[in-house]
Structure formats: C-alpha cells, structure tokens
Amino acid sequence: MSDPEKKRSLWQRIKGPVLFAGVSLAVIWGLLPLVPLSWGVHFGVAYLIFFSLAVLSAALFFVLLNWGPIGKPNSPLMTFASILLVYVATVGGLVAFGLWYYPQFEIPKPVVEKEKPEETAAEERGKEVFLSPTVGCFACHSIEALGIRGGTRGPDLSEVGKQAEVRQPGISAEDYLRESIVNPWACFTPLPGGELVECQPTADPAKTYPPLMPPGFGERLSEEQLNNLIAFLKSLKGVP
Amino acid sequence: MPVDIPGLGARNALWLVAQLHLFFAAFVLGAPIFIVISEYLGLRTQDQRYERLAQETMKVVAIAYSLTAIFGVLFAFVLMGPYQPLTNYLFKTLYPLWTLYGLFILLETVCMYLYWYTWGPLSKTPGRKWAHISLGVLLNILGTIVMLLMNAVGGFMNTPPKEIEAASLWEMVNNAAWWPLNLHRFLGNVTFGGFVVALFAAFMFLTSPKEEDRKFYDWMGYIGNLIGVGTLMTMPLAGYILSKELFLYDAQLATFMMADKLSGYFVVQGLLVVLLFLGANFYMWLSMQRIEGGLRFEPHMKAIFAVLLAGGIIWVVPQNFFPDLLAKPPPGVSEQALILPERFAFLGLMVAKALAVTAIIIMTFVTYLLYRRARATGKILWGRIDPMAQYVLIFIPAVAVYLMGLMGAIRELTRMDYHIYGLIKDVTPYWYTVTLGHSSIMVAITTILFFVLQAFIFWVGFVMGKVYE
C-alpha cells in the first residue's frame, strides 16, 4: 500500500469519531455557555469539562472500533511491555480521574504529639466530640493551634477559651461557651481583625459571622458530651 | 495507639496488605467454583479444552494460594501491632469464630493440595474422575465456609448488634450486613475469578508461539470473559441489597455514602462499571469478527455502543461537584455552577441512574444474542482473533481489580471514625475519612502490585515451564 493510500485509510478510520468530537466540543464550549440562565439548562464549567472528557473518550472508543486488526508484538519483551503498558495506562487514567479531576474534601491534619497541651480527661473526651463526624464541629471550625484543619465557615477556635472570658461581660467563659453551642444565634461572634471584642445581639455582615451555626446541638448532644466539649473549648488559649 | 509504621503510616500499611490478601483470596475462592464446573463439563462433553482450562487455572490457584497466605499473615501482623486494641477486642468477642476459621483454613488447604496433586491419578477412569470432581466440590464448600466466617467479622465491624451487651455470638455473626455481604462477595469472587482467567488467557495467547496454544487460549479468554460478564450483570443488584441493609441499619450511612464524603467514590464506581461493560461488549464484538460472516453485525454493534456510551454518561454524571455536604465552592465559582441545572436535575436522581444501568445491561445481553446468532450461521475460527481483543482482556481485569479495591474502601470507610461502627472509636491519628484522591492512589498501588504478582505466577508456572520442556 502506498503512503497516500495509508493516509486515506487512516483518515477513513478516524473521520467519523473526529467529526463527532469536533462538533460536540463546539456545541459544549460554543453554544452551551450562551444559553440564558433563565432557561434552566446552563451547565457550569465543571460539567462542560466532564462532557468534553466523555465526548473525547467516546470518540477514542469509536477510533478503536474502526481501527481493524493490530499486529502481535514480535518479542517476549515487547509482549510483556505492551501488556504492562495497557494495564498501567488503565490504572493511571483512573487515578487521574479520582485524584486530579474530582474535587477533594478537606481532611483534618493529624495532631503532632509534642505540640499537644496537657489535657484533662474531660478535655480529651471533649476533643473526641469535636472531631466526631456525627457531631461535625470540625466541618466548619479549625483549631490551627492544635493543627486541626477543619472548615473555615466558622471562626478558628484556637483561642476560644481566652476569648470566651470577654465575649459577654458578667458571663463566665463556661456559660458563654454553653450558650454559643446550645443557642448559637443568641449572640454573634465578631469577625477576626475587627475592633469588636464582645459578641453582638444581631448579625452584621461587616462585623460578625453570619447565623450559619445550626441550632439544635442542645438536643443532639448528651449533657456529658456537652460538658466535655465545653471543657475542651475552654482549654484552648492559643499556641501553647 | 501502641505503634505506628514510620513513613507509610499504619492505615496505609494495613490497606496494602489487607487489599492484596483480599485480591488473592477472591481469586482462590472464586476460580475453583468454575474450575470444578469446567472439569465436570470436560467429563460430560469429552471436550478436552474444558479439562485443560480447569487444570491450568487450578495451577494458577495453587501458586496464588501461597501468596494469599503470605499476605494474610502480614495482614495479621499489622493488625496485632498498630491496631492491637481492636484486634484484642475482635478476638475476645468472636473467639469461637476465629477457632473455626483456623480449623477450616487447615481443612481447605489440605483439600486444595489433594485436589491439585491427585488430578493426574484421579483422571484415569470416569469413576475416579467423579471422585476428583467431588473433591473439587468439597474444596468449594470449605472455601465458602471460610468466606462466610470472615464476612461475619467484616459485617460485624460495619453493623454490630445495637444492644451489644445483651447480644449472643450468633447475633453478632448474623449481623445486618452479613448475608448481603456473603451474596455480594460470592458473586464478586466469581466475576473476579473469571476476569483473572481471561487475563491469564490473554497473557498466554500473546506469549504463545504455537498456533494450537493460541487457539486454546483464545477460547479460554472467551470463557473467562463470559463468566466474568455473566456474574457482573448481577452485581448492581447485589450491591443494592448490601447498601439497603446498611441504610436500614442506620439512615445516617445513606447520607454519608450517597450525598456526603463517599459520594465522589460512587461517581468513580459508576465510571468503572461502565468501562467494564464497554470493555466486555467490545471484546464480544472482536470475538464476533473471528466468526465467518460476523462482520455483518457492524451497524448493530455501533448502535449498541452508542446506547452504552449514552447510558454510561448518564450513570456517571454527578448530581453536583461538591466533595462533601459542607464543602464550599472554590473562590470565584458560584454554587450553581457546581450543581446540575434545574431542567437536567433528574439526571442526578436514582431513577435516571437505574434506567441507564438497565439499558446497559440489556444492550450487553443483546450483544450476546448477536454473538449467538453469528455463531449459529458461521464457523468460529479460534486463534484468528484480532490481538487487540487480548489487550481488552487485560484492560477489563485492570478495571475489575481497581473496582473491587475501591468498593472495599467504600465499605470500610462507611464506618466513619469507628473501628466497629457505633461501638469502638478509631483513636489513631488515621481516624478520618480519606479523600477520593488518596484512595485512588492506594487502590492503584494495590492493583498494580496484584498484576505484577499475577504476571509472576503466570511466568513461573507456565512460561518458564515451557522453556524448560
């Protein structure tokens, strides 16, 4: 077979899938973003990438379908190398999807033993309550001083034990912490870096955290869990 | 935590050895099921290919059995070190179960070696052959009992009786997840065994210089894939039964699995199952092309592949791109951009997913009907298959092994921050749920290690043997 014939035959094999991929990608990136939001069919960029990957994979699959018989490797080494290549490429593609493409949630950083402050038994149990996924405190709160990297929607609690002493004049740190867990919307925590020290009776987007903390922890936590959690939070006074 | 494993970490170390133990265990439990059936078919039909398939697969099983034991012992060592409190609790609470496990492992090992080493002497007369087949049946019974015993421990860690203080040993064994897990693993092991046999056949086909051998390994790959796909089609239902039991046990698990930290895992699971079905159908199409006149089904097959791809996209498209319930969109990205738009929201619901998977299963069935039709009207030219088909048979086990590793991770991670859900907290530094990225890497490492070890078995057991001959 001459070179032009080879090229023609290659083009014949890939023509359909290439056209399909080209038209599909043009629709995905050219037309879909132009659709008005009000139509309810506006896909975000993550979905556009997802559809593009799907289209390219489908096109590649049809190229393989059209390809026709391939040759057999001509040495044992090449055979083993080709088998390994197919296997590793398959697994590598799957890792790429799970690791690179799909968004990852945050995990708390393991606590470094030597940095741990001395904890009483109640504080230790309170920390377990804090870290428990069923209670879920760390989903919104971090404690950078202990290396606990949780969510950032709520305030960092590294110094909450110290701050609790001055958040509400005339109210003890323990009572303030209890109220902020059981009835979180009673008083709103000032944003970090501002002038406010005391908590505020109303939420102010410029000065306080919004009312994000869900009420109902009074019912969800047992009295013992609540006491332990307060003991733990009270012990947090910044980097030891 | 008494001790940790420096560098790797206790959880990762346990993950590696436990997963490799389970991969080999799944193979040595799943393969003998169809080995004995194949041996029986060989006796009944007098088709020597069945006998050879059974014997060669059993040779792989016999070598793999040692590796299963080695990784089992390593698994126990890691459990006894970093996870000593948990190990103590499990041994103390389920002591009779462990004693039985030891006893049945011993019986299974004796039976396995008897079955393998008496193959020649017990194949001389039909009467003796029946005795050998009976030994194979006994091997499967013993293997299944071993699996049931260990599933009881695995199930207990997921769904222990809620009133544990008053629970009897039987109530701990017969926990909510036990029977669904037994069903899921039994079918999974057969699927896995079938695909590993197909991998073996592909390896042998590509390395065999003789036409006669290639004919046989072509046929063997076809049978292995058929077994794998046949049982694979039942797996979504078995998985659904297991999930349903977990949900009924504790509704919180439903949210955690399907809408929270494990939701991304299920997107990848969908992708893997789609790839398995695509690979299996592609292989069948390549198989059809080695039947005289089989090419005439090309337009039908292209339509089937179009439906498979469309169904696959619907199955895999995520309802949202949030990695967990509390995640926020990255800076500069609106929340709406990460959720399916209103008019396509139905694509994220189980109804759409179930319809998509049903379409995929039906199309796979249609492919087999077309294959039967081709076979009825033309002669199969064994050994004349496009070598690409052998690479598909390597691709399918890669995906199947990865899928099995990922599903195992999902089941373990549903325990959240507990060793035994609701009962014993994980107080090690590794108590938290790992990200999909972390799991992907761990599963990939175990998948590749399993492949390398399997390739070593094939090479030692067959390629080297032939060089020597």
Share of chain B above pLDDT 70, in %: 99
Which of B285, B313, B336 minimises the CB distance to A44?
A: B336
Interface check for A85 against chain B (CB to CB < 8 A): the answer is no
Rounded to an integer, the average pLDDT of B247-269 is 89
pLDDT band for position B277 (cuts 50, 70, 90): very high
pLDDT band for position A17 (cuts 50, 70, 90): very high
pLDDT band for position B330 (cuts 50, 70, 90): confident
Which chain A residue's Cα is nearest to B9? A110
pLDDT for residue B359: 95
pLDDT band for position A2 (cuts 50, 70, 90): very low
Under an 8 A CB cutoff, do B305 and A61 touch?
yes
Residues of A in contact with B341 (CB under 8 A): 40-43
pLDDT for residue B323: 86
More confident residue, B405 or A144: B405
pLDDT band for position A129 (cuts 50, 70, 90): confident
pLDDT band for position B292 (cuts 50, 70, 90): very high
More confident residue, B213 or A135: B213
Has residue B468 got a pLDDT over 60? no
Least confident of A176-190, B61-75, B356-370: A176-190
Interface check for B464 against chain A (CB to CB < 8 A): the answer is no
Has residue A67 got a pLDDT over 60? yes
Nearest-neighbour CA in chain B from A17: distance (Å): 12
- Residues paired with A148 in a beta bridge: A143
Which chain A residue's Cα is nearest to B438? A99
Least confident of A108-117, B152-161, B277-286: A108-117
Rounded to an integer, the average pLDDT of B95-102 is 96
pLDDT for residue B17: 96
Residues of A in contact with B444 (CB under 8 A): 91-92, 94-95
Interface check for B206 against chain A (CB to CB < 8 A): the answer is yes
Least confident of A173-177, B305-309, B329-333: B329-333
Has residue A4 got a pLDDT over 60? no
Under an 8 A CB cutoff, do B394 and A83 touch?
yes
Interface check for A81 against chain B (CB to CB < 8 A): the answer is no
pLDDT band for position A1 (cuts 50, 70, 90): very low
Which of B206, B337, B388 minimises the CB distance to A44?
A: B337
Residue whose tokens read 């296997």: A87
Nearest-neighbour CA in chain B from A162: distance (Å): 27
The pTM of the full predicted model, rounded to 2 decimals, is 0.80
pLDDT tens by residue, A30-66: 998 888 878 888 899 999 999 999 999 999 999 998 8
pLDDT for residue B431: 87
More confident residue, A116 or B79: B79
pLDDT band for position B302 (cuts 50, 70, 90): very high
pLDDT tens by residue, B169-179: 999 999 999 99
Contacts across the A-B interface (CB distance below 8 Å): 171
pLDDT for residue A8: 59
Exposed (0-12), middle (13-18) or buried (19+): which is A7, by Cβ within 10 Å?
exposed
Interface check for B122 against chain A (CB to CB < 8 A): the answer is no
Which chain B residue's Cα is nearest to A125? B427
pLDDT band for position A112 (cuts 50, 70, 90): low
Which chain B residue's Cα is nearest to A46? B338
Rounded to an integer, the average pLDDT of A98-107 is 82
Has residue B356 got a pLDDT over 90? yes
Share of chain B above pLDDT 90, in %: 72
Share of chain A above pLDDT 90, in %: 28
Rounded to an integer, the average pLDDT of B160-183 is 94
Which chain B residue's Cα is nearest to A113? B429
Nearest-neighbour CA in chain B from A172: distance (Å): 31
Least confident of A152-161, B395-404, B412-421: A152-161
pLDDT band for position B398 (cuts 50, 70, 90): very high
pLDDT band for position B15 (cuts 50, 70, 90): very high
More confident residue, A136 or B168: B168
pLDDT tens by residue, A199-220: 888 888 888 888 888 888 888 8
Interface check for A132 against chain B (CB to CB < 8 A): the answer is yes
More confident residue, B365 or B7: B365
Under an 8 A CB cutoff, do B391 and A86 touch?
yes
pLDDT for residue B140: 95
pLDDT tens by residue, B108-151: 999 999 999 999 999 989 899 999 999 999 999 999 999 999 99
Under an 8 A CB cutoff, do B309 and A139 touch?
no
